[in-house]
Amino acid sequence: MAEERVSPGPKEVAPAGPSAAAAATTENPGAAAASPDTGPYDSNCVFCRIARRQEPTELLYCENEDLACFKDIKPAATHHYLVVPKKHIGNCKDLNRDQIELVESMVAVGKTILERNNFTDFTDVRMGFHVPPFCTISHLHLHVLAPVKQFGFLSKLIYRPNSYWFITADYLIEKLRK
């Protein structure tokens, strides 16, 4: 089963600075703290920490400074990457029409990562998002999976397009446009 669980490491604290200090609360000091360069940040979110290089995860080269890309720790396919915004966004249901460009940028980064890893058959690619409550990490992340034809039984189920639990990026963009 392909999940994005990452072993919890030592607690990280949001970078110091006027905007981070102003946004942090006493109950949850890192939650939704803002950084001048990446926006909202949650120190309790493993993907926020990965995007800021505070976790021992290899980031793949990404030309978009607002996004980070890395390999899924439990790959469902030969190529299984996650593209995440550096700014903390909970999940695909938190998006609105103004963020269509963000989703399109995430897809573009996913395609670029596949090309850089010598995969160019885009008819055999699945890109999409898990829908709450089926998200293991509450930080928006695009699954980039290829080749789809090599999916095992569980992967076919978990990444079933436009099901109750997984929607394609194209489907999400279409819904946001309405």
Choose, from 130, 139, 141, 143, the residue flagged as catalytic: 141
Residues near 169 by beta carbon (within 8 Å), at least 6 away in sequence: 103, 106, 107, 127, 128, 129, 142
Q: Is 141 a catalytic residue?
A: yes
Cβ count near 35 (within 10 Å)? 18
Dihedral (CA of 62, 113, 169, 132) sign: negative
| Alpha helix stretches (DSSP H) within the chain | 18-23, 46-51, 100-116, 153-158, 169-177
Residues near 23 by beta carbon (within 8 Å), at least 6 away in sequence: 32, 33, 34, 40
Catalytic residues: 141
